[in-house]
Amino acid sequence: DQQVKQNSPSLSVQEGRISILNCDYTNSMFDYFLWYKKYPAEGPTFLISISSIKDKNEDGRFTVFLNKSAKHLSLHIVPSQPGDSAVYFCAAEKTSGSRLTFGEGTQLTVNP
Amino acid sequence: KAGVTQTPRYLIKTRGQQVTLSCSPISGHRSVSWYQQTPGQGLQFLFEYFSETQRNKGNFPGRFSGRQFSNSRSEMNVSTLELGDSALYLCASSLTEGVNTEAFFGQGTRLTVV
């Protein structure tokens, strides 16, 4: 039962354009959401997070949007840079537990 | 300060063997979680340890086990290895076991079962 889903295994964008990565979840108990970025041969690194009491969180070029009614969140990267090319994982957790539930990941490729 | 250290980085084992992976968390971090990453499956939660106690366990068979030592270092053991156990095993450490605590990942151990 995949409670966090990233339906796009890959995304390709041009440098300077916007990258939009999507994530859907099914468990309404999730109340904190995170995005991790992973380069080959490295562990995932934390990128940005959002609490369920918010609908938007911004950090530089990265913005995460949360639509609780649709159980959907998205990560926007503007402008996209070639160094952003990596696998992006969406993750969620519940207040009652500390384990992270991850999506399958989306491979982002930013072309120069 | 040093990050999360996982050893070994790469392992090749034969079906039926057992394997032990090690994780040293960031100094001062007391919570260690283990994840399995396979292509198309994302990161699947294995278990979490805090203060030498298993706090959470994912949906993996009993062949997967772990423990945490008093210095917060953790080991994960897989017995009677199967081909499907080939994966990247990631360890993450965090300061506490509470939610909204950023987890820091190690580089992982790439296990190949032949």
CA distances from A111 to A5, A12, A31, A36, A89 (A): 25, 7, 34, 21, 20
User: What integer pLDDT is reported at residue B100 of this predicted model?
Assistant: 58
Query: Is any Cβ of chain B less than 8 angstroms from the Cβ of A51?
Result: yes
Helix (H, G, I), strand (E, B) or coil at A82: helix
First CA to last CA distance, chain A: 38
C-alpha B11 chain-centroid distance? 14
Residues of A within 8 A of B2 (CB-CB) are: none
Q: Cβ separation of B101 and A98 shorter than 8 Å?
A: yes
Q: Cβ separation of A98 and B56 shorter than 8 Å?
A: yes
Residue to mutate among B100, B101, B104, with most A CBs inside 10 A, is B100
Q: Cβ separation of A98 and B43 shorter than 8 Å?
A: no
> Which residues, including other chains, have CB under 8 Å from residue B102's CB and lie 6 or more apart?
A34, A46, A49, B94
User: What integer pLDDT is reported at residue A99 of this predicted model?
Assistant: 80
Residue among B27, B33, B44 nearest B76 (CA): B33
Cα–Cα dist B75/B68, whole Å: 6
Mean pLDDT of chain A: 93
Instruction: Reply yes or no on whether the pLDDT at B16 is more than 80.
Output: yes
Q: Cβ separation of A104 and B40 shorter than 8 Å?
A: yes
- The minimal CB distance from B98 to the residues A34, A49, A98 is found for A98
Q: Cβ separation of A4 and B99 shorter than 8 Å?
A: no
- Kindly state the average pLDDT of the residues B4-19: 97
Cα–Cα dist A104/A22, whole Å: 11
pLDDT over 70, % of chain B? 95
User: What integer pLDDT is reported at residue B18 of this predicted model?
Assistant: 98
Q: Cβ separation of A49 and B100 shorter than 8 Å?
A: yes
Instruction: Reply yes or no on whether the pLDDT at B97 is more than 70.
Output: no
Residues of A within 8 A of B40 (CB-CB) are: 9, 104
The neighbour count for residue A15, using CB atoms within 10 Å, is 14
Instruction: Reply yes or no on whether the pLDDT at A109 is more than 90.
Output: yes
pLDDT category of residue B102 using cuts at 50, 70 and 90: confident
Residues of A within 8 A of B108 (CB-CB) are: 43
Cα–Cα dist B76/B45, whole Å: 13
Query: Is any Cβ of chain A less than 8 angstroms from the Cβ of B90?
Result: yes
B72 Rama sector, left if φ>0, alpha if ψ -120 to 50, beta otherwise: left
Q: Cβ separation of A46 and B43 shorter than 8 Å?
A: no
Instruction: Reply yes or no on whether the pLDDT at A45 is more than 70.
Output: yes
Residues in chain A: 112
Query: Is any Cβ of chain A less than 8 angstroms from the Cβ of B33?
Result: yes
- Kindly state the average pLDDT of the residues B97-105: 73
AA identity, residue A69: S
- Kindly state the average pLDDT of the residues B12-24: 97
pLDDT category of residue B101 using cuts at 50, 70 and 90: low
Question: In DSSP terms, which residues pair with B32 in a beta bridge?
Answer: B49, B93
Q: How many CB pairs under 8 A join A and B?
A: 65
pLDDT category of residue B99 using cuts at 50, 70 and 90: low
Cα–Cα dist B33/B39, whole Å: 20
pLDDT category of residue A96 using cuts at 50, 70 and 90: low
